[in-house]
Amino acid sequence: MRHLYTTLALAISVACQGITEAPAVVTPAMAADCPLTNSIPLCGIQCLMSAGSAVGCSDVRDLQCACKSASKIRDKAAPCVTRSCGRRRGSSLESVAAAICTQCVR
């Protein structure tokens, strides 16, 4: 579950920041199409964005890429998320991310 929170939070973070331009790749699992993304704690967004970019998810709103690369994103983002969010909020982020990958990615 820990790997899912990172991936989803990454995708959600950009959606929550009000980015309005069209994504580079349109898939059925875009952050804008998943209402659960609004539940991601904002404290770890920068961590997730950096980690997602580092593993090749060029459009962080692409949940398919984020969920597919979840373990890599988790490994890169975990220390930053823990520093930025603390354990409790980081755990909340993990739970929401897991739900997003389960419910929003086909």
- Average pLDDT for 23-49: 73
Take residue 103 and report the two structure tokens written for it: 């419910």
- The answer, yes or no, to whether residue 65 has pLDDT greater than 60, is yes
Instruction: Report the mean per-residue pLDDT for the chain.
Output: 75
pLDDT at 26 over 50: no
Count of domains for the chain: 1
Look up residue 30 and give its amino acid. Answer: M
Say if residue 6's pLDDT is above 80: no
The CB density around residue 91, as the number of other CB atoms within 10 Å, is 16
Q: Which domain holds residue 75?
A: 2-104
Q: What is the pTM of this model?
A: 0.66
User: How far apart (Å, rounded) are the C-alpha atoms in residues 62 and 80?
Assistant: 21
Query: What pLDDT does 80 receive?
Result: 93
pLDDT the model gives residue 52: 92
Establish whether 62 is an annotated binding residue. Answer: yes
Instruction: Name the maximum alpha-carbon separation found in the chain.
Output: 34
What pLDDT sits at residue 9? Answer: 52
Q: Is the pLDDT score of 27 beyond 50? A: no
